[in-house]
Amino acid sequence: MGPDPAVAAVRLAVRRVLADLPPGAMVLAACSGGADSLALAGALAFEAPRSGRPAGGVTIDHGLQDGSDERADAVVQVMAGLGLDPSGSIAVTVNGTGGLENAARDARYTALDGAADRLGAAAVLLGHTQDDQAETVLLGLARGSGARSLSGMPTGFRRESGVRYVRPLLELDRATTRRACRAMGLDAWDDPHNVDPAYARVRVRHEALPVLEKALGPGVAEALARTARMLRDDADYLDEVAAQALTDLETSEDGYGVALTLEGLGDLSRAVRTRVLRMAAVKAGSPPGTLAAVHVDAVDRLVTAWHGQRHVDLPGGLRAVRRYGKLLFGPV
C-alpha cells in the first residue's frame, strides 16, 4: 500500500523541484516547525536520497518569543531525526525597521543566504502554500496594487546574494500539509503570531477568507492562486517589454544616474511606460520597497501631462526632472 495521498502529493511536489536542480547538489529546507515547512522537510528527507542529492535543514530563531531558542532546538532535532544532514538553527536580531514582519523577513532571508552560501546549496526550499498565495493576493488588492503585486509569490526566485529559493507547495493547500504531517507522525508547531489579529495577514486568513468562502462558496483560495498565476504570466511579459524599452530609450546626462529620451517614451502604452519609469527610478537608486504607484504616476505626468512642473521627489533622496527632451533621475 502506498503513502497517504497528502504525503504523496507533498513528495511529488518536492520531487519535481529536485529534478530541475543540478545532480548531486545540496538542497536545504527552511523549516519553522509549522505544518507547511515540516511537511516540506519530511518530503525532502524522503526524496533527496532517492535523487542522489544531499539535503539539510535550517530553522531561524527570530528571538521574538520567550523560549524561541528551545523551540528552534526542538525543530533541529526533528529535522535531524528525519535524516536531514546538516540540520541547524540560526539566531537573528530583528530590529523592527520597516515594521516587525518586514524586519523579520529580511533577517530570515539574510540568515538563509548565509547558510546556503556556507554549505554550497543549489537551492533553499520554502513551505509557502496555495493558502499563503491567496492571502498575498487579497492583501495586494486591499493596497490597490498593480498586476505585479497581485501576481503573488513566484514559484522560484534568486536573491541578490545569488541564492536560489523555490516554493514547491504553492499548488497545495494548508489542509494537505497538515494531513501529511499527521500521516508522517510529525507534530507541527502553531506559531502564536499566526493567530494574532494585530497582523493583517492573520485577519485575512481567519476573517476575510472564511467570509468569502461563506458568501461565494468553496474554492476561493484556489481561484485567487490561479488568478495570481495568470497575472504573473502577464506581468512577466510586460516587464520583458519594458526592460527592452528602457534599454532603447536610455541615454546619458552628467550628474544623473539615469536619463531617458522623451521621444518615443510618451508613445508607449501606459502599462509599459509606467514600468519603464519605475525601472528607471529603481536603477537610479530609489528603493523598490518604498517607491509607490503615486510616485510613478507623478513621474508619468512629467511625460504625458507636462505643464512646466519642475520635478518629482522620489524615495531615496532622488528626484525626476524633465529637461531639454530628456527625463532625468538623480540626487536631490
Q: What are the strands, taking DSSP E only, across 167-269?
A: 250-251, 258-261
Looking at the DSSP bridge assignments, the partners of residue 125 are 29, 166
* Surface-to-core class of residue 154, CB atoms within 10 Å of its CB (0-12 exposed, 13-18 middle, 19+ buried): middle
Residue 263 is placed in which grid cell?
521621444
Q: What is the CA radius of gyration of the chain?
A: 23
In 3D, which of 256, 269, 274 has the Cα closest to residue 327?
Answer: 256
Distance CA 125, CA 29 (A): 5
- In this prediction, residue 20 carries a pLDDT of 93
Q: Check: CB of residue 300 under 8 Å from CB of residue 294.
A: no
Q: Other C-beta atoms within 10 Å of 166: how many?
A: 23
Distance CA 206, CA 6 (A): 23
φ, ψ for residue 216 (rounded to 5)? -110, -10
Angle, to 10 degrees, between the axis of helix 130-143 and the axis of helix 220-249? 60
DSSP per residue over 226-240, as a string? HHHHHHHHHHHHHHH
Q: What's the N-to-C CA distance of the chain in angstroms?
A: 69
Distance CA 93, CA 325 (A): 48
Distance CA 15, CA 46 (A): 9
Domains and CATH numbers, the chain: 5-223 (3.40.50.620), 252-331 (3.30.465.60)
Residue 247 is placed in which grid cell?
534599454
Distance CA 179, CA 174 (A): 9
pLDDT (tens digit, 0 to 9) for every residue of the chain, 332 residues total?
A: 789 999 999 999 999 999 999 989 999 999 999 999 999 999 999 999 999 999 999 999 988 788 888 999 999 999 999 999 999 999 998 886 567 777 888 899 999 999 999 999 999 999 999 999 999 999 888 877 677 778 889 999 999 889 999 999 999 999 999 999 999 999 998 877 777 888 888 899 999 999 999 999 999 999 999 999 999 999 999 999 999 999 999 998 888 999 999 999 999 999 999 999 999 999 999 988 788 889 999 999 999 999 988 899 999 999 999 999 999 999 98
Q: What is the distance, to the nearest Å, from the Cα of residue 305 to the centroid of all Cα atoms in its chain?
A: 35
- In this prediction, residue 196 carries a pLDDT of 81
φ, ψ for residue 289 (rounded to 5)? -70, -20
